[in-house]
Amino acid sequence: MLRKSPGFTAVAVLTLALGIGANTAIFSVVNALVLRPLPVERPKDLAFFENARYGPSQSFPNYKDLRDRNQTFAGLIGYRMAPIELETDRGAQRIWGYLATGNYFDIFLLTSPP
């Protein structure tokens, strides 16, 4: 039946290939970002703070106050997603990126495996 209608066969094979490829790509991203543990030695020791009144955000002065008064944790970091401009050969592109405090990588190096 497939030999008799090569157009239908090509469309069916292409549709299956695109569907399988899309599912593989989506699973790869979900696996890397959600299912695998963080690449740190003790991921359960990481904590996320959020302001109950304002949701998952803190002001930078509040972060600095928490960081300076910290006596419990190995360290505190701050980050947020923000739109940023990326200059390419086609001009400026708006992308999403992370703004992080200066000690961001230092804290993760404290908890990462050797």
Strand, helix or coil at 21? helix
Average pLDDT rounded to a whole number, residues 21-29:
93
The single residue listed with the structure tokens 């599912």 is: 23
pLDDT at residue 22 tops 90: yes
Q: What is the pLDDT of residue 38?
A: 67
Nearest one of 15, 14, 36, 39 to 27, comparing CA atoms: 36
Q: What is the pLDDT of residue 56?
A: 62
- As a whole number of angstroms, the distance between CA 99 and CA 51 comes to 19
- As a whole number of angstroms, the distance between CA 37 and CA 56 comes to 21
Q: Give 49-107 pLDDT, tens digit per residue.
A: 766 666 667 788 888 888 899 888 878 888 888 899 999 898 999 998 888 888 888 87
Within a 10 A sphere around the Cβ of 46, how many other Cβ atoms?
Answer: 14
| Whether pTM exceeds 0.85 | no
Cα atoms in the Cβ-side hemisphere of radius 13 Å centred on 20: 6
Q: What is the 3-state secondary structure (H, E, C) of 46-84?
A: CCCCCECCCECCCCHHHHHHHHHHCCCCCCCCCEEEEEE
pLDDT at residue 18 tops 90: yes
Q: What is the pLDDT of residue 36?
A: 75
